[in-house]
Amino acid sequence: MSSSCIEEVSVPDDNWYRIANELLSRADITINGSAPSDIRVKNPDFFKRVLQEGSLGLGESYMDGWWECERLDIFFSKVLRAGLENQLPHHVKDTLRILGARLINLQSKKRAWIVGKEHYDLGNDLFSRMLDPYMQYSCAYWKDADTLEAAQQAKLKLICEKLQLQPGMRVLDIGCGWGGLSQYMATHYGVSVVGVTISAEHVFYRVQLLYLIATYLLVGFGLCVCWRMH
């Protein structure tokens, strides 16, 4: 999206903006700049949110339309190379401000495993009785569908069309669940998919299906599940 299509907000004069500007400058990113990898901020609360919530706040604020970037791929490449997620500002007061917010944030690697065990690991039989054959645990696309199965497959097809998948591509599916989308992409579009989940039951369910080759290993704080067609 070109910068001319974006309604920017005036840059606020507060601590949250100052800290965010300092950190982003380390990655050669300018707030409301003109480069394709610069961000255009549409909500002044963006700065506080992303500093308090980290990468989760960055992603969710983008989904909420709080900021825009013409080249997200370059933006995230710069952020990752600079290691901004693990960096802190120079001033002690600013550091304490961020650390205080992070300490009360319940999102953590350890808690992610707890969520997986206490929710998703309740049993695959339970979920298979309430979900469609692809085991989709998110909203379906009902525009031209009259059954849950048809609506979920319409959603999967729409996702793949938006991604413009081509045979031989490699896809990373973060939060892959029971692997339904991974299965659909591999089966219908000939791509290889790596899925990441926090649930051992998700992996067990997918490994049981014989028409896909599945391998899994522990990576970071999630289970990494690789699906490939025969």
pLDDT digits (tens, 9 = 90+) for 118-130: 666 677 788 888 8
Mean pLDDT of the 146-154 span: 94
**Average of per-residue pLDDT across 199-216:** 57
Helix (H, G, I), strand (E, B) or coil at 68: strand
DSSP class per residue in 2-66? -GGG--PPPPP-SHHHHHHHHHHHTTT--BT-SSTTSEEES-TTHHHHHHHHHHHHHHHHHHTTS
The pLDDT assigned to 195 comes to 80
Confidence (pLDDT) at 230:
35
User: What does the block give as tokens for 119?
Assistant: 């929710």
pLDDT above 60: residue 213 = no
CA distances from 210 to 68, 124, 201, 230 (A): 43, 17, 16, 10
Q: What is the pLDDT of residue 157?
A: 96
Residue of higher predicted confidence among 203 and 88: 203
Q: Which domains does the chain have, with CATH numbers?
A: 3-103 (no CATH), 109-228 (3.40.50.150)
Residue 6 is predicted with a pLDDT of: 41
Which burial class, exposed, middle or buried, applies to 22 when counting CB atoms under 10 A from its CB (0-12, 13-18, 19+)? middle
* Percentage of the chain lying above the pLDDT 70 cut: 66
Q: Which two tokens stand for residue 83?
A: 């290691």
The predicted-structure confidence for 2-60, as pLDDT tens digits, reads as follows 444 444 555 555 788 888 888 899 899 999 999 999 999 999 999 988 887 777 788 89
Nearest one of 43, 48, 17, 13 to 30, comparing CA atoms = 17
Confidence of residue 142 (pLDDT cuts 50, 70, 90): very high
**What are 40's strand-pairing partners?**
68
Q: Band of the pLDDT at 204, cuts 50, 70, 90? A: low
In degrees and rounded to multiples of 5, residue 31 shows phi and psi of -75, 125
pTM across the whole model:
0.50
